[in-house]
Amino acid sequence: NAGVTQTPKFQVLKTGQSMTLQCAQDMNHEYMSWYRQDPGMGLRLIHYSVGAGITDQGEVPNGYNVSRSTTEDFPLRLLSAAPSQTSVYFCASSYSASGNTIYFGEGSWLTVV
């Protein structure tokens, strides 16, 4: 049982480059989300999805795109990386949005130089 799988675990980007953080879950969860965690802070919601074909913005969506073409996958795209996007990114999933246990991936450490 893989749970929530994020790739890559570490990435260094140059300013202006684009990239996609992959997230996949094998628990048939409807709700998936992306967070970023900056030093000394809690997680902040970037985008979320309540089911395939449905996405919405969270607290800090600027500079990021998402899509949800399947239940299993929820990739996060950085359109034009900026140093301010240096952070640790967590993908999460749960059976529904209404308070079930939320499972997190192991995190992706992204540095933009």
Kindly state the number of chain residues that form the binding site for other proteins, as judged by CB under 8 A. Answer: 26
Q: Residue 63 or 103: which CB sits closer to other proteins?
A: 103
- Write down the least CB distance from residue 21 to other proteins, Å: 15
Query: Which 3-state string (H, E, C) describes the chain?
Result: CCCEEEECCEEEECCCCCEEEEEEECCCCCEEEEEEECCCCCEEEEEEEEECCEEEECCCCCCEEECCCCCCECCEEECCCCHHHCEEEEEEEECCCCCCCCEECCCEEEEEC
Part in contact with other proteins (CB under 8 A); list of ranges 19-27, 64-72, 79-87, 93-101: 93-101
Q: State the minimum distance, in angstroms, from the CB of residue 46 to other proteins.
A: 11
